[in-house]
């Protein structure tokens, strides 16, 4: 059958699937990356590396040097006079030229400056060096206005931005009344700073026009939505945009949407009639793309004396530029993680003149659980309970907000497994009670949760006449293992050696996948590949005159009854091509789905300097079927390291005079390095969640960061007796906490 067949699947509750009957058992194993050899040999082509050796021009973006004001004049004469300069893009549609939320049309470039580093124009030249030099010659006159650069100073002006990733207000019962009458109360406020995505690959784009058609080589996570975004910015039909980005050097949410580099590159290439390359400098990435918002989080817990939560509230204030209504959904896990009949979760937004905030790895939970999991420890101490025991006493039977049954929930199993493996029984019973020389030793733990998300997806699988298979979808791989997982699913379903399955990703001309984000990628795109392979198996069964359930595919052979036939012989020289389509179904709507885990940490804190060192860190996770043990474990390592950074080092420092991010590069924005990270341990518990999708798996990439930072700071408290509610927990704050304790004594 050489034509294309479409097969549609959704996630009704399933029993045994072909994956469970798979004779190869390759799915779930720690298979090496499909694209690994390309990356380590330098043959994986990233965005900026396209069109090497061709006659291209180079762009360098000029940005605003203040955080608030109005552009009055742009003088490009000196820049244009420099030899080798081809053009300066100054256009009414320049990205982020206006912050007016009521204006749906692109504003004049003489519009509002909303943040320091806002892209204003771009110089195009025959070399990168000439473009950079010419950019320094562009004169921009900005009439400054008073800016808002400190969320704490604007918190009283925070307002309800409307619903976003989650409703801005979620309530149940009567929190105020229940909290006021609670036998034990906790009312604490935590703050988290702005953070940078800091992907290894900077934002880059290469634009090429052929007539009215644009090909853009980019580094974006959501191809199917990035195409219409770019088309809208350029004022053209999406049918004229071809986006190509097979390899992406990290994103963490910072490349979910198109960046200024893609719009400027496309405009410049159209104007000068030759391809244009643009790569943002590291400083421009920090100042001109997006960030995770800083937050102010108030957590209140009311409980009975025996540790049953009766009231819980999580109220968050976040900052964003005027007109950008995204808010960091810090309370998203508070909705369902612990029991309590009376609940209140709110999110409010304050307008600030700081780079717009957007989704960053585990938006909501990553910083929200820094607060809730610290608060749970503080409340456990008030009650005289072990932190794990307190959490167990508040394990809900159903989703405590909506009353939906959990599709699966193994939080207690994760805590128990981790406690046993980590040696939780050796935890110091009181702060500052264990010491090794100058070092105070402490243990801490925190729960982890991340709501499971699924997205519609399409994938085309072609079983070729020679018995090899090709998987095609515009799904992306940002270093998470998508190539490998789709290869494994296809090999398992069709009974092929891994080496006989090729995967093509990141091209907008291919069937639309869900893109990389929200930890939905592997299970959503994998489900459409599963559907396509089921369709192929059905065609083979029909050719052999048997039912699909009676067919076994293994080692390039089709077995039905007692007869084994080479697949190539069954095909008869004709390929089978099937497009699989997946959409979340009834089971997704009727159950509450999430991945769960528990983190355990041992720290040593220097009794003289306050320096904290993470000595051990273990994560136990349950995320449904693990599709590739190696890539899943790698994702958890990344989350653990990210969590250490959130706890101890990561913080964007904003100049309160201009909105400049002072530490706008990897020399000063301190992500954890080898010396900061101990030998990490990850335990993946066996689980199948058949309501969560055709593959019975759930997202794990973002789960791994949720709660890690709280486990670290809970351990620091156990070591030192110092609670720091202002992240990150740097040594100066530990020393200040000791000093305050001494003064109080």
User: Quick check: 68 and 114 in contact, CB under 8 A?
Assistant: yes
pLDDT at 91 (0 to 100): 66
Give the model's confidence band at 106: pLDDT under 50 very low, under 70 low, under 90 confident, else very high.
very low
The residue ranking higher by pLDDT, 742 or 150, is 150
Tokens 């935590």 appear where? 190
592-631 confidence digits (pLDDT tens): 999 999 999 999 999 999 999 999 999 999 999 999 999 9
Average pLDDT over residues 371-379: 98
pLDDT at 100 (0 to 100): 34
Residues contacting 661, CB < 8 A, separation 6+: 116, 117, 194, 196, 286, 287, 355, 652, 653, 654, 655
Residue 318 CA to residue 409 CA, distance in Å, equals 30
The residue ranking higher by pLDDT, 95 or 606, is 606
As given in the structure block, the two tokens for residue 68 are 């608030």
Whole-model pTM?
Answer: 0.95
User: Quick check: 461 and 532 in contact, CB under 8 A?
Assistant: yes
Residue 123 CA to residue 137 CA, distance in Å, equals 10
184-220 confidence digits (pLDDT tens): 999 999 999 999 999 999 999 999 999 999 999 999 9
As given in the structure block, the two tokens for residue 496 are 């092929």
Residue 148 CA to residue 673 CA, distance in Å, equals 33
pLDDT at 741 (0 to 100): 83
Give residue limits of the domains in the chain: 4-31+455-583, 47-63+68-146+197-288, 295-453+590-744
Query: Cα–Cα distances in Å, from 740 out to 151, 706, 721, 723, 735?
Result: 26, 30, 11, 11, 9
- The string over 648-666, giving b where at least 16 C-beta atoms fall within 10 Å of a residue's C-beta and e elsewhere, is bbbbbebeeebbbbebbee
Residues contacting 593, CB < 8 A, separation 6+: 406, 407, 408, 451, 452, 689, 691, 692, 698
Neighbours of 358 (CB within 10 A): 20
As given in the structure block, the two tokens for residue 112 are 């509002």
User: Quick check: 551 and 21 in contact, CB under 8 A?
Assistant: no
pLDDT at 97 (0 to 100): 33
Question: Which CATH fold would you assign to the domain 47-63+68-146+197-288?
Answer: Aldehyde Oxidoreductase; domain 4 (3.30.365)
Say which DSSP state 107 is in.
P
As given in the structure block, the two tokens for residue 528 are 């459409």
Domain formed by 295-453+590-744, architecture: 2-Layer Sandwich (3.30)
Give the model's confidence band at 563: pLDDT under 50 very low, under 70 low, under 90 confident, else very high.
very high
User: Quick check: 629 and 26 in contact, CB under 8 A?
Assistant: no
CA–chain centroid gap for 441, Å, is: 32
Query: Cα–Cα distances in Å, from 235 out to 95, 106, 212, 278, 617?
Result: 12, 10, 12, 20, 50
- DSSP reduced 3-state for 144: strand
Neighbours of 51 (CB within 10 A): 17
Query: Cα–Cα distances in Å, from 663 out to 117, 645, 669, 726?
Result: 13, 15, 5, 19
602 assigned to active site: no
As given in the structure block, the two tokens for residue 65 are 């040097």
pLDDT at 14 (0 to 100): 52
Residue 95 CA to residue 118 CA, distance in Å, equals 9
Mean pLDDT, the chain, whole residue set: 94
Give the model's confidence band at 9: pLDDT under 50 very low, under 70 low, under 90 confident, else very high.
confident
Average pLDDT over residues 569-574: 94
Same fold, 47-63+68-146+197-288 and 295-453+590-744: yes
pLDDT at 361 (0 to 100): 98
pLDDT at 94 (0 to 100): 45
Q: Return contacts of 433-440, CB within 8 angstroms, 24+ apart.
A: 434/719, 435/607, 436/604, 438/606, 438/607, 438/608, 439/604, 439/605, 439/606, 439/607, 439/613, 440/604, 440/605, 440/606, 440/607, 440/719, 440/720
Asked if pLDDT for residue 281 goes beyond 60, the answer is yes
User: Quick check: 59 and 131 in contact, CB under 8 A?
Assistant: yes
449-482 confidence digits (pLDDT tens): 999 999 999 999 999 999 999 999 999 999 999 9
Average pLDDT over residues 399-426: 98
C-alpha dihedral over 657, 292, 516, 507, to 10 degrees?
-10
47-57 confidence digits (pLDDT tens): 999 999 899 99
Residue 558 CA to residue 229 CA, distance in Å, equals 45
Give the model's confidence band at 703: pLDDT under 50 very low, under 70 low, under 90 confident, else very high.
very high
pLDDT at 16 (0 to 100): 55
19-73 confidence digits (pLDDT tens): 665 556 899 999 999 999 999 999 999 999 999 989 999 999 999 999 999 999 9
User: Quick check: 522 and 579 in contact, CB under 8 A?
Assistant: no
pLDDT at 17 (0 to 100): 63
Average pLDDT over residues 309-333: 96
Residue 215 CA to residue 284 CA, distance in Å, equals 24
As given in the structure block, the two tokens for residue 20 are 């469970």
The runs of H, that is alpha helices, within 300-430 are: 365-383, 387-393, 411-422
For the segment(s) 4-31+455-583, the CATH number from 3.30.470.20, 3.90.550.10, 3.30.365.10, 3.30.413.10 is 3.30.365.10
> What residues pair up with 69 in beta bridges, in sequence order?
113, 144
pLDDT at 102 (0 to 100): 39
pLDDT at 7 (0 to 100): 80
Asked if pLDDT for residue 662 goes beyond 60, the answer is yes
Give the model's confidence band at 743: pLDDT under 50 very low, under 70 low, under 90 confident, else very high.
confident
Query: Cα–Cα distances in Å, from 652 out to 36, 117, 329, 475, 660?
Result: 33, 14, 19, 31, 10
The answer to whether the bond into 728 is cis (omega within 30° of 0) is yes
141-181 confidence digits (pLDDT tens): 999 999 999 999 999 999 999 999 999 999 999 999 999 99
pLDDT at 85 (0 to 100): 98
Average pLDDT over residues 392-401: 98
């Amino acid at each position: 059958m050489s034509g294309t067949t479409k097969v549609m699947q959704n996630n009704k509750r399933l029993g045994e699937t072909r994956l469970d009957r798979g004779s190869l058992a390759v799915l779930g194993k720690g298979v090496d990356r499909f694209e690994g050899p390309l990356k380590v040999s330098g043959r994986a082509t990233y965005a900026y590396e396209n069109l090497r050796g061709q006659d291209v021009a180079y762009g360098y973006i000029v940005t605003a040097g203040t955080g608030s004001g109005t552009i009055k004049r742009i003088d490009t004469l000196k820049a244009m006079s420099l030899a080798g300069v081809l053009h300066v893009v100054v256009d009414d549609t320049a990205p982020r030229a206006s912050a007016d939320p009521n204006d749906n049309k692109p504003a004049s470039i003489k519009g509002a400056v909303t943040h320091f580093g806002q892209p204003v124009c771009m110089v195009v030249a025959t070399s990168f060096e000439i473009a950079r030099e010419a950019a320094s010659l562009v004169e921009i006159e900005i009439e400054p206005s008073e800016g808002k650069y400190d969320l704490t100073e604007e918190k009283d002006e925070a307002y309800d931005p409307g619903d976003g990733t989650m409703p801005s207000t979620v309530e149940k019962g009567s929190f105020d009344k229940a909290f006021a009458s609670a036998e034990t109360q906790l009312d604490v406020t935590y703050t988290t700073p702005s953070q940078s995505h800091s992907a290894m690959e900077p934002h880059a784009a290469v634009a090429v026009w052929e007539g009215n058609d644009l090909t853009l080589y980019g580094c974006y996570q959501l191809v199917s939505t990035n195409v219409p975004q770019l088309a809208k910015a350029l004022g053209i039909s999406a049918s004229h945009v071809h986006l190509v980005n097979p390899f992406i050097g990290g994103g963490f949410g910072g490349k979910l949407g198109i960046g200024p580099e893609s719009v400027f590159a496309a405009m410049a290439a159209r104007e000068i009639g030759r391809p244009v390359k643009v790569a943002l400098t590291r400083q421009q990435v920090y100042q001109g793309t997006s960030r995770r918002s800083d937050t102010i989080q108030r957590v209140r817990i009311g409980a009975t004396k025996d540790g049953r939560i009766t009231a819980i509230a999580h109220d968050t204030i976040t900052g964003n530029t005027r007109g950008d209504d995204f808010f960091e959904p810090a309370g998203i896990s508070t909705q369902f993680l612990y029991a309590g009949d009376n609940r209140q979760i709110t999110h409010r937004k304050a307008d600030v003149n700081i780079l717009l905030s957007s989704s960053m790895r585990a938006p909501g939970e990553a910083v929200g659980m820094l607060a809730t999991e610290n608060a749970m420890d503080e409340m456990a101490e008030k009650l005289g309970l072990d932190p794990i025991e307190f959490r167990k006493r508040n394990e809900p039977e159903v989703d405590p907000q909506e009353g939906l049954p959990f599709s699966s929930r193994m939080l207690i199993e994760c805590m128990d497994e981790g406690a046993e493996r980590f040696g939780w029984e050796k935890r110091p019973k009181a702060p500052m009670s264990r010491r090794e020389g100058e070092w105070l030793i402490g243990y801490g733990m925190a729960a982890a949760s991340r709501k499971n998300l699924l997205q519609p997806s399409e994938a085309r699988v072609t079983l070729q006449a020679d018995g090899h298979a090709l998987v095609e979808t515009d799904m992306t791989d940002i270093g998470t293992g998508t190539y490998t997982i789709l290869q494994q699913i296809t090999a398992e379903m069709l009974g092929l050696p891994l080496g006989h399955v090729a995967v093509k990703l990141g091209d907008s001309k291919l069937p639309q996948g869900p893109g990389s984000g929200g930890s939905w990628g592997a299970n959503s795109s994998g489900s459409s590949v599963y559907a396509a392979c089921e369709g192929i198996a059905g065609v083979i069964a029909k050719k052999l005159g048997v039912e699909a359930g009676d067919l076994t595919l293994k080692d390039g052979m089709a077995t039905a009854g007692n007869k084994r036939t080479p697949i190539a012989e069954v095909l008869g020289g004709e390929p089978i091509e099937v497009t699989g389509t997946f959409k979340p179904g009834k089971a997704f709507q009727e159950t509450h789905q999430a991945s769960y885990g528990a983190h355990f940490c041992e720290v040593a804190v220097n009794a003289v300097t306050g320096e904290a060192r993470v000595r051990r860190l273990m994560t136990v996770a349950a995320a449904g079927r693990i599709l590739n043990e190696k890539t899943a474990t790698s994702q958890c390592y990344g989350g653990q390291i990210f969590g250490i950074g959130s706890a101890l080092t990561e913080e964007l420092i904003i100049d309160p005079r201009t909105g400049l991010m002072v530490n706008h590069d990897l020399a000063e924005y301190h992500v954890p390095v080898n010396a900061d990270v101990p030998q990490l341990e990850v335990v993946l518990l066996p689980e199948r969640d058949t309501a969560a999708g055709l593959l019975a798996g759930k997202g794990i990439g973002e789960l791994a960061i949720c709660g890690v930072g709280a486990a670290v700071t809970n351990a620091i408290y156990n070591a030192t007796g110092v609670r720091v509610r202002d992240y990150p927990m740097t040594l100066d704050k530990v020393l200040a906490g000791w000093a305050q304790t001494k003064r109080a004594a």
